[in-house]
Amino acid sequence: MLQWITMRARGRRNAHNLYGSIVTLSRARVLYADMGAPDTVESRFELLVFHLFACLHRLSRSGAKKKYLAQRLVDIFFADMDTTSRELGVGDTAVPKKMRQMAAVFEERMNGYKEAAGKNKKDALAAALAENIYGRCCDEAVKQALATYVQELQTSLAQTPVADLEAGLFRFT
């Protein structure tokens, strides 16, 4: 019985560690300094959602057994967004409405990225990300840099063993 409790606690801790890695990736200097992503709350949210999608997409291709980790990551994400909203000054009575709006945007982004990832076009996912970050106007060089970044991220995730992700480990350089 105690072993089950220990394994559950370890699973939660590992999910938090993996989420921390995803947050770190979404705040990478290369995205803001080299690719010109605006350093705004909205842009940070978009980049975090994209990196979370990339990890969730990787987990979804590894079988039904990994659904618990995916659900934990989503739960941690929304708990983080709740806390962040409060830290940004959203009042207690407005937080539920803000969270519903975020959930709707999150679902829309997940569906859009999933659709783009399902296309056979090489840069469809990067194009979807670019539109969410920069809007319709985006420099061609930035689009290419973003496409390279997305492709390298996907390759790195594909090469990361699921056991490492379950252990909360993911490094992308």
Coarse DSSP helix, strand, coil percentages of the chain, rounded to the nearest 5 percent = 80, 0, 20
Report which residue type is found at 170. Answer: F
Confidence of residue 23 (pLDDT cuts 50, 70, 90): very high
Q: What is the DSSP letter of 65?
A: G
- Kindly tell me if the per-residue pLDDT of 49 is higher than 90: yes
Q: What pLDDT, on a 0 to 100 scale, did the predictor assign at position 109?
A: 95
Longest CA pairwise span in the chain (Å): 57
Compute and round to an integer the Cα radius of gyration of the chain: 17
Residue 106 has pLDDT above 70, yes or no: yes
Over range 115-140, report the average pLDDT.
84
Tell me the per-residue pLDDT of 138-150, one tens digit each, with 9 for 90 and over: 778 888 888 899 9
Domain that holds residue 111: 2-166
The mean pLDDT of 77-82, rounded to a whole number, is: 94
114 touches 58 (CB < 8 A): no
The pLDDT of residue 166 is 85
Q: Is residue 46 part of a domain?
A: yes
- Asked whether residue 172 is assigned to any structural domain, the reply reads no
pTM: 0.89
Residue 171 in any domain: the answer is no
Q: Is residue 61 part of a domain?
A: yes
Residue 152 lies inside a defined structural domain of this protein: yes
pLDDT of residue 43: 93
Q: How far apart are CA 104 and CA 118, in angstroms?
A: 21
- Per the structure, the count of domains in the chain is 1
Long-range CB pairs of 78-81 (<8 Å, 24+ gap) are 78/102, 78/103, 80/19, 80/23, 81/45
Q: Name, in order, each residue with C-beta under 8 angstroms of 106's C-beta and a sequence gap of 6 or more.
A: 49, 77
- With cut-offs at 50, 70 and 90, classify the pLDDT of residue 79: very high
Check whether 136 has a pLDDT greater than 90.
Answer: no
Mean pLDDT, residues 84-97: 85
Residue 173 lies in a domain: no
Q: Find the mean pLDDT for residues 54-77.
A: 85
